[in-house]
């Protein structure tokens, strides 16, 4: 049976008493004052139909909605005639707002939403969720839209192992360094990217990762949804011809076994080495990392670093 809260009615499942979550048999605070649940509520990433029945119910029944941008969330709520009070919770007030949100949680449930997709995924949420867990407040995630999973499942790239890296660095040297770290991984790589940086990121990726399979998923769930699938070079050609617009999720195939058995050519090794040295990495560790990724001997790579 359900130990608390109006929001826990149809479809409510008994919460496990694992971890630090507070349950009837496992209170983590001495006082047994009523305490709400923090619900993490995904919202549509483009198509307003992509909201679940459960998300609508939680948004309606919560005593407060903490929203990244209250104006954006108000539009969604008004479409479904939901009038729950809103407070802002965004990148610039996410620490200052904790008290307000925990005061509300002492009295009832709070729903956390971002502008689009799943809160906490390249969106505010992490600090609030950590603090709620530390205070023994139940944290309940609702499954729902996120660009990362929508892009992955339709990309045609392997889905059994993937790494989401959020937004890659903007500056050229930091971008190359980040790509160097990702280069040897076997997992499909997924990043969020802005349209005006797409071609530069693809060019850096072709240099550092090699010309692998890649996919650009654009405007997911919207009228002009578009998937471009091919090699990185093919995508560079396509987006030089067709200026990228809209929201973009970028995916790269992971390193394949052949990559490590086929040594890199000297130019690629030199470039990888130069990138690491430019980041201030010591020669010995740069040589070791590049040797591992390239199939070259560490001493040979080290000697190149002295040229």
Which chain residues interact with ligand SAM by CB under 6 A? 45-46, 114, 116-118, 121-123, 146-148, 192-193, 217-222, 247-249
* Integer Cα distance of 48 and 18 in angstroms: 35
Nearer to ligand SAM, 90 or 298 (CB): 90
Nearer to ligand SAM, 38 or 273 (CB): 38
Shortest Å, Cβ 166 to ligand SAM: 8
Shortest Å, Cβ 123 to ligand SAM: 4
Shortest Å, Cβ 110 to ligand SAM: 18
How many residues are present in the chain?
307
Shortest Å, Cβ 153 to ligand SAM: 13
Nearer to ligand SAM, 68 or 281 (CB): 68
Shortest Å, Cβ 122 to ligand SAM: 4
* Integer Cα distance of 42 and 137 in angstroms: 19
Nearer to ligand SAM, 136 or 141 (CB): 141
Residue closest to ligand SAM when measured from CB atoms: 117
Nearer to ligand SAM, 90 or 135 (CB): 90
Shortest Å, Cβ 151 to ligand SAM: 6
SS3 string, the chain, reads CCCCCCCCCCCCCCCCCCCCCCECCECCCCCCCCCCCEEECCECCCCCCCCCHHHHHHHHHCCEEEECCHHHHHHHHHHCCCCCCEEECCCCCCCCCHHHHHHHHHHCCEEEECCCECCCCCCCCHHHHHHHHHCCCCEEECCCCCHHHHHHHHHCCCCCCEEEEEECCCCHHHHHHHHHHHCCCCCEEEEEECHHHHHHHHHHHHHHHCCCEEEEEECCCCCCCEEEEEEHHHHHHHHHHCCCCCCEEEEECCCCHHHHHCCCCHHHHHHHHHHHHHCCCCHHHHHHHHHHHHCCCHHHHHHHHCC
Shortest Å, Cβ 44 to ligand SAM: 9
Nearer to ligand SAM, 147 or 301 (CB): 147
Shortest Å, Cβ 89 to ligand SAM: 14
Nearer to ligand SAM, 125 or 138 (CB): 125
* Rg of the Cα atoms in the chain: 23
Nearer to ligand SAM, 155 or 180 (CB): 155
* Integer Cα distance of 136 and 105 in angstroms: 11
Nearer to ligand SAM, 215 or 269 (CB): 215
Shortest Å, Cβ 145 to ligand SAM: 7
Of the candidates 243, 247, 268, which has an alpha carbon nearest to the alpha carbon of residue 183? 268
């Amino acid at each position: 049976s359900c130990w608390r809260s109006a929001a826990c009615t149809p479809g409510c499942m008994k919460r496990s008493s694992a971890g630090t979550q507070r349950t009837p048999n496992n209170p983590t605070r001495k006082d047994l004052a009523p305490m709400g649940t923090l619900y993490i509520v995904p919202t549509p990433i483009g198509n307003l139909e992509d909201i679940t029945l459960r998300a609508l119910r939680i948004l309606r029944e919560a005593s407060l909605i903490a929203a990244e941008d209250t104006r954006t969330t108000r539009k969604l709520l008004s479409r479904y005639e939901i009038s729950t009070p809103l407070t802002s919770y965004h990148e610039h007030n996410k620490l200052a707002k904790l008290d307000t949100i925990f005061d509300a949680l002492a009295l009832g449930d709070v729903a956390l939403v971002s502008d689009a997709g799943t809160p906490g995924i390249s969106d505010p949420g992490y600090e609030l969720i950590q603090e709620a867990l530390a205070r023994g407040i139940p944290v309940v995630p609702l499954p729902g839209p996120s660009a990362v999973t929508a892009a992955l499942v339709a990309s045609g790239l392997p889905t059994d192992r993937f790494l989401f890296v959020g937004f890659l660095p903007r500056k050229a040297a930091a971008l190359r360094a980040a790509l160097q770290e990702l280069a040897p991984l076997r997992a499909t790589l997924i990043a969020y990217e802005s349209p005006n940086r797409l071609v530069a990121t693809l060019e850096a990726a072709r240099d550092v990762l090699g010309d692998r399979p890649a996919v650009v998923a654009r405007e997911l769930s919207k009228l002009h949804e578009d998937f471009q699938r091919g090699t990185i070079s093919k995508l560079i050609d396509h987006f030089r011809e067709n200026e990228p617009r809209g929201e973009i999720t970028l995916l790269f195939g992971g390193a394949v076994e052949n990559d490590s058995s086929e040594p890199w050519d000297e130019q690629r090794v030199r470039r990888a080495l130069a990138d690491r040295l430019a980041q201030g990495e010591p020669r010995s560790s740069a040589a070791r990392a590049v040797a591992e990724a390239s199939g070259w001997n560490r001493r040979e790579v080290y000697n190149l670093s002295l040229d």
